[in-house]
Structure 1
Amino acid sequence: MSEPRRPGSNDPLTPFELALRNRVPSREALLAEGKAQTVRQRRRKQVLGASLSTVALASMLWGIDPAWRSEDVRTAYGQRHDLQLADGSRIALNSATHLRIEQRLRSRQFELLEGEATFTVAPGDKPFIVRSQGVAVRDISTVFNVRSDSRGVAVAVIEGAVDVSTASAGPQRLLGGQQLMPSRESLGAVAALDPASATAWQQGKLRFDGTPLREVLAEIRRYRQAPIRLADNRLGDLRLSGEFDSAAVESLIDLLPAVMPVMLIRGRDGSVLVSAR
């Protein structure tokens, strides 16, 4: 075996050996570079994971629409009230109405807990949605009326169109001059509507056209705090027609025995029992 060359010797290959050593890293240098590369890869994975987590969080937040503030508006018996919203929309509230206005990130939402309201919606980037008793009404640039009471929910479109849906059905498109009485279970059938009758309450009028007495009493209850009820449910099939002043429902009640085979029994607390004559 030949003896290794020593630097500085007169061997003509020595310069080439030194140049080769300068070009080829030592074992220690290779180990150090390997460790540094491992650290860089680990950091890249951490940054990539954080970026993916940020994207996933942003996607999740985009899919939710929390209410960051809400405001309740109520009207008393016999009181009506008009609201002008910041976006230019208008809401007319009928007597004995409870409306919750919700400030949300990506929509304009309202909950009609009780009563009746007409919504005149200004165009905007955020959807305009009214909810009540499990029913959702989504505006499509329109004027619509929503009533919510013991009878359920009634949606009437005065102008334009809305989409009505529930958790189990819909959406059902409603156009101007159409109405619907949906429930949590079903949307029901679309029916024709007289827009003037649907909004007569805004002029302080109650309009009935062959309306069953049970429906008449339901409307009267909106304007008086003391209860009024039927002694016999079969009396509810009697029908009433005419236009009456909503500020004078007591006069309307007094008129019932003159146009129907009924009699009134008044209680000391102001309650009224409508019974057969």
Structure 2
Amino acid sequence: MSSPVRPESNASAADPLAPFEQALRTRVPSRDALLAEAKAQSARQRRRKQALGGGLSAVLLAAGLWTLDPAWRSEDIRTVSGQRESLQLADGSQVVLNSATHVRVERRLRSRQIELLDGEATFTVEHADKPFIVRSQDVAVRDIGTVFNVRSDSRGVAVAVIEGAVEVSTQESPAQRLNGGQQVLARAGRVGPVEVADMGRVTAWQQGKLRFDGTPLREVLVDLQRYRQAPVRLADARLGNLRVSGEFDSDAVESLIDLLPAILPVVMVRGGDGSVLISGR
């Protein structure tokens, strides 16, 4: 009589890998495990893309900043009426400020820039890889290794080159080169014709002097105003055409004002607040 067949023996006969099922389970990941690994890989890919995107954004931002040349630091410097000041910039350049002058020194990524908001200054520029630019009233003065003077007031922006050369431009006028001994006056967005500069007059303020040579009275009063707080006004605008010549001490502008009736056909009235009104006689 034959022996009965056990169920296990039947299973083994039907599936020869059945005895190895448990070992295979430990070596082959389950469906759930495969799904979890797929999700983890997708998450890693997303993180890599985000990292690459962030790095690219940082590169684009840096490129944009380099192109725009932003100011990352600025410092305002002012002189009061009657005060002159000399300062040395971080690059070694020298700036001498006239009375009642306001400048903003900017540190930029690609350039060295100063904004002359009001007044007058002389710049002695130290050579460097970054260009040196002075801005005022929409006028840009680009240094080409030089010493130059810039005055900014109601008359416009006057640029005079003492040594070397500069380029003067506005948004409406192309760059115009000035060499030593030359000057221009820029106003209303345009650069005027190049003229021979009177260097004695341009630099007289650094010696505490005011020098006039047939200068219209209206311009004389603009210069005098820089050295006093209270205004000096003309009762009649036509008096501004009168001419003044001579050299005077900038520390004694009140004496010059008192002298005007002796050298011009005018009378002067001083107000209690220090203001002065000049009328014709």
Say yes or no: does 1:181 pair with 2:211.
Answer: no
Out of 257, 260, 265, the position equivalent to 2:269 is 265
Amino acid at match of 1:240: V
Q: Which residue of 2 aligns with 1:6?
A: none
Cα deviation, residue 84, structure 1: 1.1
8 Å CA contact retained: 2:204, 2:211: yes
Contact 1:167 1:184 in 2 (8 A): no
Q: Work out which of the residue numbers 129, 137, 149 in structure 2 matches 1:133.
A: 137
Does structure 1 conserve the Cα–Cα contact (< 8 Å) formed by 2:138 and 2:189?
Answer: no
Question: Paired residue for 1:144, among 148, 151, 160?
Answer: 148
Indicate yes or no: 2:224 matched with 1:220: yes
User: Does structure 2 retain, via aligned residues, the 8 Å contact 1:116–1:146?
Assistant: yes
TM-score, normalised with respect to structure 2: 0.79
**How far is 1:59 from its partner?**
3.4
> Which whole-Å deviations, capped at 9, do the CAs of 1:111-132 have from their partners, x for residues lacking one?
1111100000010111101111
Amino acid across the alignment from 1:221:
Q
CA shift at 1:73, angstroms? 0.5
Q: Which residue of 2 aligns with 1:172?
A: 176
Number of equivalent positions:
237
CA contact (8 A) 1:166 1:184 kept: no
Aligned to 1:28: none
Q: Distance in 1 between matches of 2:54 and 2:77?
A: 44
Q: Does 1:238 align with 2:246?
A: no
Paired with 1:100 and 1:57, the residues of 2 have a C-alpha distance of: 26
Kept in 2, the 8 Å contact 1:205–1:244? The answer is yes
Q: Alpha-carbon deviation of 1:60?
A: 2.4
Q: Which residue does the alignment assign to 2:93?
A: 89
Please report how far the alpha carbon of residue 190 of structure 1 lies from its aligned counterpart in structure 2 after TM superposition: 1.1
Larger Rg: 2
Name 1:155's counterpart in structure 2: 159
- Offset, 1:184: 4.3
- Asked if the contact 1:142/1:160 (under 8 Å) is kept, the reply is yes
AA aligned opposite 1:102: E
TM-score computed with the length of structure 1 as normaliser: 0.80
Q: What stretches of structure 1 of length at least 5 have no aligned partner?
A: 1-38
CA separation of 1:175 and 1:59: change in aligned 2, threshold 3 A: same
Structure 2 unpaired stretches of 5+: 1-41
Deviation at 1:62, TM superposition (A): 2.3
Deviation at 1:196, TM superposition (A): 2.1
- Cα contact 1:119–1:143 (8 A) shared by 2: yes
Find the aligned partners of 2:217 and 2:57 in 1 and give their Cα distance: 61
Letter in 2 for 1:247: D
Q: Secondary structure at the match of 2:220?
A: helix
Deviation per CA, 1:120-152, whole angstroms, max 9, x where unpaired? 001011110111111111101001111111121
Residue in structure 1 matched with residue 27 of structure 2 by the alignment: none
Provide, for residues 161-204 of structure 1, a one-character-per-residue CA deviation record: whole Å limited to 9, x for no partner: 11111112111111111111112421111111022210100000
Let me know the Cα RMSD of the aligned residues.
Answer: 2.0
Q: Partners of 1:198 and 1:220 in 2: how far apart? A: 15
Instruction: Tell me the percent identity.
Output: 70
Counterpart CA distance in 1 for 2:58 and 2:94 is 39
> Structure 1 residues 70 and 48 mapped into 2: Cα distance closer, same or farther (>3 Å)?
closer
Would the aligned equivalents of 2:269 and 2:278 in 1 still touch at CA under 8 Å? yes
Q: Which residue type is aligned with residue 209 of structure 2?
A: K
Structure 1 residues 53 and 276, CA, compared in 2 at 3 Å: closer, same or farther?
same
Q: Could you list the structure 1 runs, at least 4 aligned residues long, displaced by more than 4 angstroms after superposition.
A: 45-58
Distance 1:68 1:60 in 2: 14
Q: Tell me, in whole angstroms, the C-alpha distance in 1 between the residues paired with 2:134 and 2:119.
A: 13
Deviations 1:232-252 (A, max 9, x none): 111111101100000000110
1:38-66: CA deviation from partner (whole Å, max 9, x where unpaired): x9xx99x9699888766644432321211
